[in-house]
Structure 1
Amino acid sequence: MAVFNQVEFDNHEQVVFCADEASGLKAIIAVHSTKLGPAVGGCRLWHYAKDEDAVYDVLRLSKGMTYKNAVARLPFGGGKSVIIGDAKEIKSEALFRAFGKHLERLGGSYYSAEDVNITTGDVMMMHKETNYVLGLEGKSGNPSPFTALGTFLGIKAAYQHKHGHQDLAGVKVAVQGLGAVAYGLCKYLHEVGAELFVTDINQASIDRVVNDFGATAVGIDEIYDLDVDVYAPCALGATVNDNTIPRIKANIIAGCANNQLAESRHGEILREKGVLYAPDYVINAGGIINVYYETKPDGYNEVDATKHVEGIYDTLTEIFARSESEQKSTHIIADELAQEIIEQGL
């Protein structure tokens, strides 16, 4: 398995393979860039079909974090980590402490945090072995509510750009994936009168949103065919692809999932179809913004963190306007904005 030949390898500064026989830990840490500061990005625990899939994921996600942190104007570089395995089977204090020891060996070039299948409690177990973790209980804590807020505001910004107003009452939104962030997003949408259509691989998650917010449950594959205004991908990535684009009827795609476009060219296809796409690493930056405020010398301040998250609305408004004036897809404009910030500094 040649990392340098991986399609997602982008001159990453460091890729580290970690193992611990006693706890069963198998993990990969990817540091994409430390130009703006130490690499920061969450740890994902996933049952990858093969090791190559894990490498692909961590390389792609870590580059995304470089761009996410830059556009959010955070003094962080980009990194990510993945632990390979079934979350229902391998989680243990020994596993997370072993992972914490590997983080410690990197000496601060990378800080980890919670992500898919990783809780703040898991991060606290890593913290027993290292200080190179963020999103700690008693400090910034769970980032999910802030990611949900940013995603909701991003949908409002997209609707404002597309329709000239941001009143979401009666607007039909298809939400794919109902994890902690998506639940918070559904709550915000329900409170402003949006009509929700939801799906998830976990029936309990569906039932909760249906019961709490009057959402309509649909099949996993049916979500793409709905006649809705907004498609909100909130599960894993690459759901906007050659197979789904012809089926998606929404004229706005805005959700909290990472790496929503299967390939870069899909962003241009969306633009040509008149679909407004909110670049994923811009709209879902609320969590990492909140985590940043944990690092402030005077301590975490939720009011300041929330104000910064609210800036996602303005950033997306700028990206949408530049996309229209320059006749480029929104994800290309976002990438160019990130590259400008990385080159020029914050």
Structure 2
Amino acid sequence: MNTPWGFEDFDAHEDLHFVWNEECGLKAIIAVHSTHLGPAAGGCRFWHYADPAQGLTDALRLSRGMSYKNAMAGLPLGGGKAVIIADENRTKTPEMLHCFGRAVDHLCGRYVTAEDVGMSVADMIEIRRQTPFVAGLPVEGGDVGGDPGPHTSLGVFLGLKAAVRRALGKDSVNGLHIALQGAGSVATGVAVHAAAEGARLSIADVDAAKAQKLADATGGKVVSTEEILGIEADVLSPCALGAILDEQTIAALRVPVVAGGANNQLAEKEDGQRLHERGILYAPDYVINAGGIINVCTEYLRDGDASLVRKRIEGIPDRLEQIWAESAQSGRDPASVADAMAQRLIGRG
């Protein structure tokens, strides 16, 4: 990995911008990983970090993930990501969002922003007051737009079913036990789809009230965040924050399938091989969770309607099957296979 600046996760990023405006309270990082296939597209995360350096790590890793995600989804977009570093009270004001919008606008279209963790459609409206380089805006008439979360959820669920079909030989999740980490927007969508098909759910979230609400809505059971990664189930679906699969947690897994919507699920590259060695089928995160950016891309480029978005999302299982087939043939783990494919697509292979 090319790390001339000493940042462990710097991977030949094209641009890295630190944005600070004391008057409006904005501290942000915008990372442009690649524009090889088009403008760098990726959401803006609003999060409080105990150490601001963690925000930089997130921006670097997430922007690279967006390059891979957009390339593997066949979209004419590069990869970028923004992080707004929130204070302990998660203070967010229109003035702050306007400042961020001006920072995005200053990049003249090299980076296109949208929702990520901690951001909403309403926030995108505020950012749009300062720049046209934003998506995830309210749907107008028959146009595509709005919250990308439900589209991400649909893609994750379809990818999860593909993994179940490959690993367990079942065409449905009816009667299967899914351990769901997270109770946010994406996790909620996955849970609703799975419950409708008859799956049994164990749900964990750092916000116990959110976990209970989702469990009540889907007939699931709430378990602790400490328990979820070691629970015996048919599928583990990580749908919260990243870096949760490491040497210790992988050793404790009691599932044949890991398929979820969280970004950067592997703490380090070697963890893909660790899953592979344990015989656990892994759905690379940036492939399975591409539904949201597919919707964002269609909205931003105005190149299709809701039916095209659905068709593009339904292509996610086919891409996963290609990865798993090459993994089986080559003996390499699916995460490494997906990385190599994506790197070739962005001209770095």
| 2-structure distance, mates of 1:155, 1:253 | 8
Q: Distance in 1 between matches of 2:320 and 2:59?
A: 25
Partner residue in 2 for 1:125: 126
Which residue in 2 is equivalent to 1:187? 192
SS at match of 2:247: coil
Distance 1:272 1:228 in 2: 19
Q: Partner residue of 2:11?
A: 10
One-letter identity of the residue aligned with 1:340 = R
SS in 1 for 2:286: helix
SS of 1:4 mapped into structure 2? coil
* Equivalences, count: 343
Partner residue, 1:231: 236
For the pair 1:178 / 2:151, whether they are aligned, the reply is no
1:278-300 per-residue CA deviation (whole Å, 9 max, x = no partner) reads 000000000000111113445x5
Range with greater deviation from structure 2 (14-23 or 32-41): 14-23
Equivalent pair of 1:3/1:55 in contact (CA under 8 Å): no
Q: Percent identity?
A: 44
Q: Distance in 2 between matches of 1:89 and 1:156?
A: 36
Q: 3-state SS of the aligned residue for 1:323?
A: helix
Aligned to 1:25: 26
**Structure 1 portions without partners, runs of 5+:** none
Partner of residue 316, structure 1: 320
Q: Partners in 1 of 2:249 and 2:168 — Cα distance?
A: 24
Amino acid at match of 2:186: V
Structure 2: how far apart are the matches of 1:130 and 1:199? Answer: 38
Q: Counterparts in 2 of 1:257-296, with a 5 A limit? A: 257-296=262-301
Question: Per-residue CA shift, 1:304-343, capped at 9, x if unaligned?
Answer: 1011001001100111111111100001111111122223
Deviation larger for 262-271 or 49-58:
49-58
Which aligned pairs between 1:1-346 and structure 2 lie closer than 5 A? Answer: 4-86=5-87, 88-138=89-139, 139-297=144-302, 301-343=305-347
Cα distance in 2 between the residues matched to 1:98 and 1:186: 36
Runs of 4+ in 1 over 6 A off after TM superposition: none
> 1:105 & 1:292 partners in 2: Cα distance?
21
Q: Any conservation in 2 of the 1:87–1:117 contact (CA below 8 Å)?
A: no
Q: 1:81 to 1:248 in 2, by over 3 A?
A: same
Shift of 1:164: 2.3
String of CA shifts for 1:172-209, please: whole Å, max 9, x gaps. Answer: 10000110110000000001111100010112211211
Deviations 1:102-155 (CA, angstroms, capped at 9, x unpaired): 011111100010000000110110000000111111241110111000000111
Q: Letter of the 1:66 partner, please give it.
A: S
- State the TM-score, normalized to the length of structure 2: 0.95
Query: Take 2:347 and 2:20, find their aligned partners in 1: how far apart are those partners?
Result: 35
* Contiguous gaps of at least 5 residues in structure 2: none
Deviation at 1:89, TM superposition (A): 3.3
Aligned-pair Cα RMSD in Å:
1.5
Aligned mates of 2:167, 2:273 — CA distance in 1: 17
- 2:302 & 2:290 partners in 1: Cα distance? 22
